[in-house]
A and B are shown apart, each in its own frame.
Chain A
Amino acid sequence: MSEESAVVTGKKPFVPGKSLLTPFNIIAGIIVIVGLFITVLRFTKGLGTVTNLDDNYPWGIWIGFDLLAGVALAAGGYVTSAAVYIFGMKRFHSAVRPAILTGFLGYALVVFALHYDVGRAWRLPYPFIMQQGTTSLLFEVAACVALYLTVLFIECTPAPLEWLGFKKARNIAVKLTMLLTIFGVVLSTLHQSSLGALFLLAPSKLHPLWYSGYLPVFFFVSSIIAGLSMVIFESTLSHHYFADKMDETHMNEKEGVALGFGKAASLVLAGYFSIKVIGIAVDNNWHYLATGYGAWFLVELIGFIALPCLLYAVGVREKNLTLIKWTSGLAVLGIIINRLNVCLIAFNWHLPSEDKYFPHWMEIGISVFIVTVGILVFRFVVTRMPILYEHPDYKDSH
């Protein structure tokens, strides 16, 4: 904790008098210390010491949550920039910067988390520099994530460049917007769907209710839902904590963003619901619904797809922002549950329950640590750079 506060003191000179020992900072500090401790263990003692992974469950929550759910939840970047720049919904413009920033942070953290999960982290560039396993969908995921991270990085640069006052560089970066947006949508389509396609190889291990030839489509469509919901979710959180950083445009557009994105999310959820049902019908898997896994599947289908779809629709019609806010949380939770189902819960469904995986507390510790790092960096950036407001020198310049 002392480290954490030391770091913050060093970087936060402009809030004199305000104590750094806020409850948030204390908790974040403890998490960071514990995270660093587990990190040392992980890289000196190996995966076996800090995880419950075994030969039947080579992938745990670092893949199910950090990678699969993380990438889906970071979809806000491409969804928002596509809506604004390609589909011309200029009235959501103020949502772009925070969405791109969270997208970038999200992907950066996913890549960071992968370093913990793979056996030899220093070899992560090997698929590109040693041998390309082009038959592998994981290769496609790796290539797209690497490229997309670069795209997001460039898309993010205008804010720090404005902050630092580098006008020329900033204008070049802004000129690339259209190109980067299209590039980002292409890459996102590819890797969002490929994450689902990873499991196409394991028809005998993934429960038939979740296994489907449509897995790539399911993952892609649900990433749009995750992206839209995260933008709403995040904007309410930001509004709560960083309201002083928001300019008038952001405040004025906020409501419109919630309504517009809520409506879009409701429509996409309806579509997602139907293709999920079609998925069962095509493989004629109805009889599985009567089993225990079937009940759990229905919880996901009704409670986390149909329900948020309905609630979003009601919230938009009645202009009930509180309802939309809560629904976005529900939808986000639904996507996380879906990814955990595919990767862990419905995976190896044929194994007896004593062989099933449950995460080690240190695995959870690292996941929490990584999310905390993300929040800390987000806070650092939005309290300094023009994210939630427009830089006075660059108003009307888009």
Chain B
Amino acid sequence: MSISRRKFLGWLGAAGMGTALGSTANAASNKHFSGYPDSVGVLHDISRCVGCRSCEAACNKVNELPPPDQPFTDLSVLDTKRRTTPEAHTVVNKHELAKTPVFNKIQCNHCLEPACASACFVSAFKKTAEGPVSYDASVCVGCRYCMVACPFEVPTYEYNKAFTPRVMKCTMCYPRIMEGKLPGCVEVCPKEALTFGKRDDLLKVARKRIEKHPDRYIDHIYGEKEMGGTSWLYLSDVPFADIGMREDLGVTSAPQLTAGALSGVPLVVGLWPVLLTGIYAMTKRKEKISQEETAEAVSLAIAETEEKGAEKLSAALKKAEKDKDMAIQKEVKKALEEVKKTFEEARTQEETQEEQKEEKA
């Protein structure tokens, strides 16, 4: 298969144009969002958490989740690392560090620009203006892309339900908040490790605590910037990485991660047909040219044959004429000779008769 130079350059040009345009479009679509004004959140002060599991119990109660295998008062479950499950929107994990054990509570962080919402192809997840990230089970298809996307490994799925499986995650007790109540876990926490309030105020509270006890706290509010920021914030007296909270998530929000790929769509839709039709037209034109060339060659060949044919014909005619002439001449000659012969024969006869007459006389 030989690709002609012209065709190859055509493809190359087409490819180059696509990539060049792609990069400008990516740059143009970056946007920033720093949360709805006055939206609420929760601050979890890890240094105050004692691992009593009261929040787990409260969450189970207010969300009417099925009772656990082991009662919430059984603290031995803390010995194994756990994650959220369809039956538990929140779990507390124990980390045995040098001094004392440290506890942290896991639940949905209610991201400002949630990856789960970016991922969902039916928009089942929404960041509400109030702060919580809500989920609508009535449209959820169950593709579980939200779970792949969530950087905090929060959403879970009811794999064991055949007909009505749902994605399960903490709602920040959205219904309770709307009634003016505190989230179940916040309300019950005996150590005030959890504080509910406007996110902006919580950030101030956190900063003040760090200022007041710089020796106690790590100088970092987890969730202020992580993955574009979250509504659930954390303060800690040990490095976050030591208690299983990832510090390598970066500050890029989910929509920014996919903006480039999404902006490629209109480009492909707009440019591909034009390019492809162009290439098609080029191919067609070449084909046409080559067809024309073939046609020309064919007609030339035909013309040549015709000419030759004509020549041959006339030659044949000529030859025929010549033959005819020759034949006539031959006939004439033959005739003449015959005449001559007869004439001579006649003469000889005459002569003989005369001789005979002379003899008689």
User: Which stretch from A47-55, A150-158, A330-338 is at the chain B interface?
Assistant: A47-55
**Does the CB pair A88–B257 fall under 8 Å?**
no
**Interface bits A174-211 vs B (CB < 8 Å: 1, else 0):** 00001001100110011001100111111111000000
Q: Looking at the assembled complex, report how far the CB atom of B295 sits from the nearest CB atom of chain A, in whole angstroms.
A: 17
A203-B149 contact, Cβ under 8 Å, with A59-B144, A118-B141, A137-B262: no
Determine which of B83, B147, B280 lies in contact with A85 in the assembled complex, contact meaning CB atoms within 8 Å.
B280
Q: How many A-B pairs fall under 8 Å by CB?
A: 181
**Does the CB pair A194–B261 fall under 8 Å?**
yes
Q: Is B324 interfacial (CB 8 A cutoff)?
A: no
User: Which stretch from A5-13, A17-25, A121-129 is at the chain B interface?
Assistant: A121-129
Q: Is A43 interfacial (CB 8 A cutoff)?
A: yes
B contact residues around A44 at 8 Å (CB): 162
**Interface bits B139-162 vs A (CB < 8 Å: 1, else 0):** 111111101110101011111111
Complex Cα distance, B268 from A203, in Å, reads: 25
Q: Is B165 interfacial (CB 8 A cutoff)?
A: yes
Interface residues of B in 119-152 (CB under 8 A from A): 119-124, 139-145, 147-149, 151
**Interface bits B284-321 vs A (CB < 8 Å: 1, else 0):** 10110000000000000000000000000000000000
**Does the CB pair B139–A58 fall under 8 Å?**
no
Q: Is B269 interfacial (CB 8 A cutoff)?
A: yes
User: Which stretch from B94-102, B174-182, B243-251 is at the chain A interface?
Assistant: B243-251
Size category of the binding interface on chain A:
35 or more
**Does the CB pair B121–A58 fall under 8 Å?**
no
Size category of the binding interface on chain B:
35 or more
Complex Cα distance, B276 from A297, in Å, reads: 35
Complex Cα distance, B142 from A82, in Å, reads: 35
**Does the CB pair B276–A119 fall under 8 Å?**
no
Q: Is B193 interfacial (CB 8 A cutoff)?
A: no
A contact residues around B160 at 8 Å (CB): 46-49
Q: Is A162 interfacial (CB 8 A cutoff)?
A: no
B contact residues around A14 at 8 Å (CB): none
**Does the CB pair A89–B1 fall under 8 Å?**
yes
Interface residues of A in 43-96 (CB under 8 A from B): 43-49, 51, 53-56, 58-59, 82, 85-89
Closest partner residue, chain A, to B246 (CB atom): A204
Interface residues of A in 95-127 (CB under 8 A from B): 117-120, 123-124, 126-127
Q: Looking at the assembled complex, report how far the CB atom of B289 sits from the nearest CB atom of chain A, in whole angstroms.
A: 12
Q: Is B283 interfacial (CB 8 A cutoff)?
A: yes
B contact residues around A120 at 8 Å (CB): 140-142, 163-165
Q: Is A142 interfacial (CB 8 A cutoff)?
A: yes
Q: Is B63 interfacial (CB 8 A cutoff)?
A: no
**Does the CB pair B258–A197 fall under 8 Å?**
yes
**Interface bits B251-291 vs A (CB < 8 Å: 1, else 0):** 01011011011101100110011001101100110110000
**Does the CB pair A43–B162 fall under 8 Å?**
yes
Complex Cα distance, B248 from A193, in Å, reads: 26
B contact residues around A189 at 8 Å (CB): 268, 272
A contact residues around B158 at 8 Å (CB): 119
Q: Is A15 interfacial (CB 8 A cutoff)?
A: no
Q: Is B236 interfacial (CB 8 A cutoff)?
A: no
Q: Is B118 interfacial (CB 8 A cutoff)?
A: yes
Q: Is B107 interfacial (CB 8 A cutoff)?
A: no
**Does the CB pair B83–A56 fall under 8 Å?**
yes
**Does the CB pair A118–B142 fall under 8 Å?**
yes
A contact residues around B185 at 8 Å (CB): none
Determine which of A47, A49, A54, A201 lies in contact with B118 in the assembled complex, contact meaning CB atoms within 8 Å.
A201
Q: Is A329 interfacial (CB 8 A cutoff)?
A: no
B contact residues around A85 at 8 Å (CB): 280
Interface residues of A in 30-53 (CB under 8 A from B): 43-49, 51, 53
Binding site for B on A (CB under 8 A): 43-49, 51, 53-56, 58-59, 82, 85-89, 117-120, 123-124, 126-127, 130-133, 135-140, 142, 178, 181-182, 185-186, 189-190, 193-194, 197-205, 213, 216, 256, 259-260, 263-264, 350
Supplied contacts A87-B7, A88-B287, A133-B120, 19 more A-B pairs, CB within 8 Å: A44-B162, A47-B159, A48-B159, A51-B159, A55-B84, A86-B279, A87-B283, A88-B280, A119-B144, A119-B158, A127-B122, A131-B122, A135-B255, A136-B118, A182-B276, A182-B277, A190-B269, A197-B261, A213-B260
Binding site for A on B (CB under 8 A): 1, 7, 83-86, 115, 117-124, 139-145, 147-149, 151, 153, 155-165, 246, 248-250, 252, 254-255, 257-258, 260-262, 264-265, 268-269, 272-273, 276-277, 279-280, 283-284, 286-287
